[in-house]
Amino acid sequence: MATAITLIEAKTLASSTTLVTFSAIPATYTDLQLLISVKSSAGATASYIGFNSSQASFSGQYLYSNPPTAPVGGTLARYIGSQGSNGFASYTIYIPNYASAKYKPFSVDNTDGNFGSGANLNMTCGLWANTAAINSIEIDANGNNMLQYSTFYLYGISNA
């Protein structure tokens, strides 16, 4: 039986950059999954996502846990989580039906990778209220550099 998951593209940063882009994403899969390990030059910072070079028509909800403080929620467009002041943050981003003619929801699980004071947890849902197929994904660290050795893996998942 054919595998249902295929690596579309892997990126390992050879030098710092403020924006990582996956472009020309084929529409041949059902869902997309993006796995990220990243550290920012700014230390603690938020991270954001864009589709098709657009930052418009996004909305989102996050759930943030930073023990011993009680978990809190909030709304923030394009937000996919945070990066800590040390260590590499991890993200799992799932985008179902990315090539459909419907609005595009996405789901994110994130830890900021803080190993000094304890890692924090972010769970996020987002929506891009646009019916265009997603053909590019942009990741940024709120204008800060993402450092060398950060990795970004984009997978296609097929139910065909």
Partner 1 sequence: MASTYEKIQTSTLSSSTPSVTFTSISGAYTDLVLVGSAQSAGASRDSLGIAVNGSGSGIYSRTYLESSGSGAASSGRQSSQIRIVSDYIMGTTGTADFGTYIWNFMNYSNATTKKTVLFRGNNTQVAGGWNVSSMVYLVDITAAITSLTVATMNGPNLNTGTTFTLYGIKAA
Binding site for partner 1 (CB under 8 A): 1-5, 30-31, 59-63, 65, 70-75, 94, 96-97, 102-103, 105-107, 109, 123-127, 129, 157-160
> Least Å distance between CB 39 and partner 1?
25
Using the minimum distance from each CB to partner 1, give the nearer residue, 20 or 93: 93
How many other β-carbons are positioned within 10 Å of the β-carbon of residue 10? 11
> Least Å distance between CB 89 and partner 1?
18
Helix (H) or strand (E) holding 36: strand 31-38
Using the minimum distance from each CB to partner 1, give the nearer residue, 1 or 24: 1
Separation of alpha carbons 66 and 73, rounded Å: 12
Using the minimum distance from each CB to partner 1, give the nearer residue, 82 or 144: 82
DSSP H helices, the chain, are none
Q: What is the three-class DSSP state of 103?
A: coil
Q: Dihedral of CA 52/55/61/64: which sign?
A: positive
> Least Å distance between CB 100 and partner 1?
9
> Least Å distance between CB 157 and partner 1?
8
Using the minimum distance from each CB to partner 1, give the nearer residue, 4 or 35: 4
Separation of alpha carbons 151 and 13, rounded Å: 6
